[in-house]
Amino acid sequence: MTNWQSTVLGQEHDLTKFDCGNALLTTWLHRDALRSQAAGAARTFVWTDGDDPAVVAFYSLAPTRIMRDEVTGGLAGGYSQIPGYLIARLALDRSLHGQGLGSELLFDAIGSIVRAAETGGGRLIVVDAIDDAAFEFYRHHNFKAVDGGVARRLYMKIATARKEMRISSLDMVRDPETGLVATTIRRPDGSVSPLVIDPQEAKALGEAFLNRAAQAVPGARVSFDDIILEVLGRDPRHD
């Protein structure tokens, strides 16, 4: 199991091995991320594996303003200049490709924006997709493009993101006749997995969840799926 540690980029992080497969994004992280952060232009967050300083994913955020003529009335909300946050860059190392972690990384970025907006305000989340594949990725995650607007630019209201910011939930219902426990995992991406476990397995999971909560490090990313796989040897994502 891997606990992704999500933290602000610092001098202690090792960027040397990071390669997302896109030269522009990789080079920016290696050469410009710390400099942009020091200048106050953008804040970069990185994923590492526990105490290992090697960066395996990153995203960069920056405050922005959107002009009224770029968006629809519903997005503008009556403002001539709409305050928001730009997801300037977002990428996973090649070693993490194909594991569905892009959605988790985006969810992390949106969560950072929602928390920032609680104190700093803001109405929109903006992203400029680097290519057509990225454009479709963001559309799949409920970002909206504006007809006739900036090419490959997409938006989401922060209010919408706040409503959709659900941590993965685990519902457990015990059948009094059989003693079996019907379990349902609901993930932030909307996917759902049912799982039937016996009382002993339910107890073992409960203890594991409590232990993990007691050991939690701020920013660490732990999933119900990973804990179930570790304790029961069953992966709900493929069960």
Which residues are bridge partners to 126 per DSSP? Answer: 86, 155
**Which of the residues are catalytic?**
138
Q: Check residue 151 and report its DSSP letter.
A: T
Q: Which residues pair with 144 in a beta bridge?
A: 155
Task: Judge contact between 20 and 91, C-beta under 8 A.
Answer: yes
Instruction: Return d(Cα 223, Cα 228) in angstroms, integer.
Output: 9
Q: How far apart are the first and last CA of the chain?
A: 17
Full strand arrangement of the beta sheet holding 181-186: 169-174, 181-186, 192-197
Could you give the CA distance from residue 21 to residue 201 in angstroms, rounded to a whole number?
Answer: 41
d(CA 13, CA 31): 13
- C-alpha to C-alpha distance for 54 and 12, rounded to whole angstroms: 9
Report the distance separating Cα 36 and Cα 137, nearest Å.
Answer: 26
Residue matched to tokens 């924006």 = 113
The DSSP secondary-structure symbol of 28 reads H
Looking up tokens 């989340």, which residue turns up? 125
